[in-house]
Chains A and B, each alone.
Chain A
Amino acid sequence: MNRSQLGGSLSIRHVSKIYDPEGVNVHALHDCSLEIPAGEICMVLGPSGCGKTTLLNAVAGFHDISSGEIRLDDKVLCNDAKPQAVQGPDRMVVFQNGALFPWKTLLDNVAYGPIVQQRLAPKMAREKALEMLAEAGLADVAQKYPGEVSSGMARRAEIVRALINDPKILLLDEPYRAMDALTKSIMHENLLRIYDLKPVTIFFITHDLEEAIFLGQRVVIMTTRPATIKEIIKIDLPYPRDHRVLSSEAFRLLVTRVKASVHAEAEKAFAAGEKEFA
């Protein structure tokens, strides 16, 4: 499959964002420029509270930007004339603490998008949803509520719920944040398997640098606030990757290299007492 022909390239040009609650200027993003080709797994790495989520929210259309432009393929999402992008199923977000609707079963959660978009009749949507849940190994728990399954299963179902809408780009905001290392590693391999099946660009925010290197084709390192792009590191580990990569020499060299770059920023952020920032 030639991913680049299917669309989903994201272009972030000179984007700045200043929050101005009651006159206190908080400079969250400063002149960020980043080109993500269609079909890439792009990992954005930075210290907590640096403004990574602000960038993701701007792409998703949850927040406006103060200046700059963001495009998805040829479509302008937001710019100076239209500072806030319209939310849409071409950009699906998987949230930090999970946002499956607790009042719907996993199956109905997944079927929700096609039904409200009136793309599929409810019966068809549920059939499709079950098929996709089965592909992700969740057929047995499809009829359960999110509160009844493990956080790993819930997060997998949430990714399925995003993918059923055929997004061009998947926006993941530290989706595996609260998980232990072993569960995380299973989730990572699963995400790469799903990625192999689906033509989608992945924009993944994290502060876990091993996660960034394991998953990404490129790792974008952001500075502490005001966040800007400090360095882009290409990860030339061959796919398919599995957990054995983690103990390879090449992987350890990359960790050292990325750590050197991100550590200085983390220290600055710590000294400034930055708090997690929406």
Chain B
Amino acid sequence: MNLKKYLLRNKALWRGLIALGGILLVWEILAHWRLWFGYSLPGIGLMPAPSAVLALWGQVLLDDSYWVSWYASYSRVLLGFCLAMLIGIPFGLMLAVNRHLHAFFFPIFETLRPIPPLAWVPASLIFWPTQEMSIVFVIFLGAFYAIVINVLGGAKNIDIRYLRAAQSMGAGQWSLFWRVVLPATLPSIFTGAAVGMGITWEVVVAAEMIAVGGRVYGGGLGFFVWNSFVGGSTEQAIIGMLSIGIAGYLASSLIRYTGNRLMPWHSAA
């Protein structure tokens, strides 16, 4: 009963639902315009109706190739993203802590960073032995730069008072790193992770459209969209787009949740 009361009184929820319903309604009307009113609106082309999309989605949900696409994209994203975290966080911290390493690596890093990950697709297809590895590599690059730049910035801008206070209290280098530098950088690590995760979804979809030719199984959501378009089903292409949106949302929620768990002081402050 309480939950029902809560849902009824939650104004933000109702506003959100009304906005969503409104958009769907306008979309539905526009999609049927020609049929209903006998003429086309200038500048508006063909558009599948949301009701048609939802109806088809109901069928697609039962199709296992749809879920294989989810699995394929998700596993690529998570693999590339985790590699980027595993290499990017220590690399960023190292550049922040060591002046010599910074002088050595930073110029190279800054030269490579402006190259969009997708520009790496051809070179990476030639370099890596499998298509799968080249896609993961491109995803890795997309997340890697965002993570390193944020970790580096965060670790370099630690308030000197924290370091001085810790040293005055007798902290050695080891304790200074684990108990001061790392927790002080954690918020930046999660900012980098959130930005990086956003980029991985952009990259995976485009990379799948370019690189996964001629396969129906395991193409991923990007391929699903492209294949539906080529096959003439705009409804199914839109199902693919919305699925990517949902997948990305789930991934960033996971990062936010982990961040809040690891940094209780951050949500409190």
Chain A residues within 8 Å of B, Cβ to Cβ: 60-62, 87-89, 91-93, 95, 97, 99, 101-104, 112-113, 116-117, 144-148, 161, 165
Contact = CB atoms under 8 A, between A and B. Distances in A.
A126 to B, nearest CB: 15
A147 B162 contact: no
A41 to B, nearest CB: 20
A13 to B, nearest CB: 23
Given A103-B184, A117-B170, A148-B268, A87 B164 contact: yes
B172 A116 contact: yes
Contacts of B168: 60-61, 87-89, 91-93
Contacts of B72: none
Contact of B165 (A61, A91, A93, A117): A93
B122 interface: no
Given A112-B169, A147-B268, A165-B169, A60 B164 contact: yes
Given A92-B169, A116-B166, A165-B170, 8 more contacts: A60-B168, A92-B168, A101-B183, A112-B166, A113-B169, A113-B170, A116-B175, A147-B268
Nearest to B169: A113
Contacts of B179: 112, 116
Contacts of A88: 168, 170
B171 A116 contact: yes
Contacts, number: 71
B99 interface: no
30 contacts: A61-B168, A62-B164, A87-B164, A88-B168, A88-B170, A89-B169, A89-B170, A93-B165, A93-B168, A95-B164, A97-B161, A99-B162, A99-B164, A102-B269, A103-B263, A104-B183, A104-B265, A112-B166, A112-B169, A116-B166, A116-B172, A116-B175, A117-B170, A144-B268, A145-B264, A145-B268, A146-B265, A147-B265, A147-B268, A148-B269
